[in-house]
Structures are given as structure tokens and as C-alpha cells.
Amino acid sequence: MARPGITYAQVAEAAEALAAAGENVTIARVRDRLGTGSPNTIHRHLTAWQDTRPAPKRPTELPEAIQAAILREIERQTAEAKAEAESRLEQAQARADELARAGEALESEVADLTEALAAMRAERDTAQLNAEGLAEEIMALKAEVVREREAAESARIQAAETRLRAEGQAEALQEARAEVARLREALEREQAARAEASGDMTTLRGELVQVRTRADTLGEDLREARTDRDRLREVLEAERQAREAIAQEAAELRGELKALRTRSKQEKRPIS
């Protein structure tokens, strides 16, 4: 069962504590303070927290008679707004750097999984080739046993017929008896050879079953690796979109800072 993620309230509380201590509120510092949490989740809650913070107050335009008296206050508030914008820009850049490092780590993990996937495919192909080779070898052994048995029987019959025709009945009988003995010995050897071949074939069948089982396991591992690869790609795409959002936010902050600097210069001009 998946663990529950951190909440907005936890992130907001940590961010308020950091801001009250005069520290820059970054993803890494919030996560260190909480002791847990996904960088993506912290970034989402931290962005929502910053949006709820009150914007620096701007002095309203006053009658010309007292503008000179509050000009210094306007300059002070402008400086505070500039400092706030620069601080937010620095925080956004820090979060962008953190997300970039996380994205690089995910890309490296995807590359490792891709290499592992290729190795598993090669192992599966090798296992299939070995299984096919074992099946062919079993068939060849069966055919060879049949051929050898038929050739041996044919040779023994021809030899017995030749000797019976060339020699007398007594000698033929004696030779026939000896031939029968030899045939019995040969039959026993044949039976032993067949038993040995049968044992080898049984072993080969067991190895074939193991190879096929291994091929099925590799196929299952391959499917799981593909699922992990797709999930990592989705995470990487989410990280990329977050970096783009932060880059856009940084650009907006730079524009806001530029506008504040321009306004500060304009407000410092003497009032006519």
C-alpha cells in the first residue's frame, strides 16, 4: 500500500518557518525541515503557498502637497518589492536547478533500464536458440539409434547366412550357437546402449523444459521492464513540464523586477 504524500498544510508551515527565520524558501530546505516528501509534491504546494502570500503594498498617490514627505517611504517600499522579487527569482532558479538534477537522474535510470532490456532480449533469444538446438539434437539421436540397430541386425544376419552356406552342418550348428551367444551379448549391449540413450534423452528433455521455463521468465521480466520504462518516461515528462513552468515563472519575475527598477528610476525624478 502506497504511503500518503505530504499535505499543503505541512509544506506551508515549513515555508512560513523558513521565511520567518530569514532563510530562502527552497524545495531542498522545505524537504530537510519535513524530513520526507517528493520534490514534485513540495514544488506544487510551495507554488500554491507563494501565490497566497500578500503582495507588497504600494503607496497610493497622495496630494501633491505631501508627496515630497512620503517620497522616502515610496523608495523604501520599492526597494523591498525589488528585494522580494529578486528573492523569488532566486528561489525559482534554485527549484529549477533541483528539478534539472532530478531529471538527469531519471534520464540516467531510463538509459540503464533500456540497456537491461536489450540484454534480457538477447538472453531470451539465446535461450530460444538453445531450446531449438536441443530439440534437433534429440531427434538426431533417435534417428541414429534406429539406423545403428537396423545396420547391426542386417550385418549379423548376412554373416550367419554366409557361414552356414560355406561350412558343414556340424560346424554351421556350432557357429550358429556361437553366433547366437554373440547375438545375445550384442543384444545386451544394444539394450544397455538404448537404456543409456533413453537416459540421455530424458536429461535433454528436462534441460529443454528448463530452457523453456527460463524463456517464459525472461518474457515476463521483459514485460515488467517495459512497464517500468513507460512509468519513468511519464515521470520524466512531468519533471520537464515542471521545469518549463518554473522557467516561465522566472521570466515573469525578471519582467516584474525590470518594471520595478524602471518605476523606481521614474519615481526618483524631481516632482514638477
The boundaries of the domain holding residue 81 are 65-267
Residue 42 lies in a domain: no
pLDDT for res 206: 87
pLDDT score at 272: 44
Structural domain contains residue 48: no
Compute the distance between CA of residue 50 and CA of residue 16 in angstroms, rounded to an integer. 10
pLDDT at 68: 65
pLDDT score at 10: 95
Task: Examine residue 10 and state whether it is found in any structural domain, yes or no.
Answer: no
- Cβ contacts of residue 160 below 8 Å, gap of 6+? 175, 176, 179
- Which has the closest alpha carbon to 92: 256, 246, 252, 254? 246
Q: Which is higher by pLDDT, 45 or 170?
A: 45
In a domain, 88, yes or no: yes
Q: Which three cell numbers stand for residue 18?
A: 523558513
Tell whether 219 is covered by a domain.
Answer: yes
244 within domain boundaries = yes
Specify the DSSP element, H or E, that contains 3: none
**Torsion on CA atoms 56, 62, 66, 72, rounded to nearest 10:** 20
pLDDT of residue 159: 63
User: Helices H, strands E: what count in the chain?
Assistant: 5, 0
Q: Is residue 25 part of a domain?
A: no
- Residues 75-118 have pLDDT tens digits of 676 577 678 768 887 887 777 667 757 755 665 675 687 788 78
Q: Report pLDDT digits (tens) over 22-31.
A: 999 999 999 9
The b/e string for 30-39 (b: 16+ C-beta within 10 A; e otherwise) is bbebeeebeb
Q: How many domains, the chain?
A: 1
Residue 272 lies in a domain: no
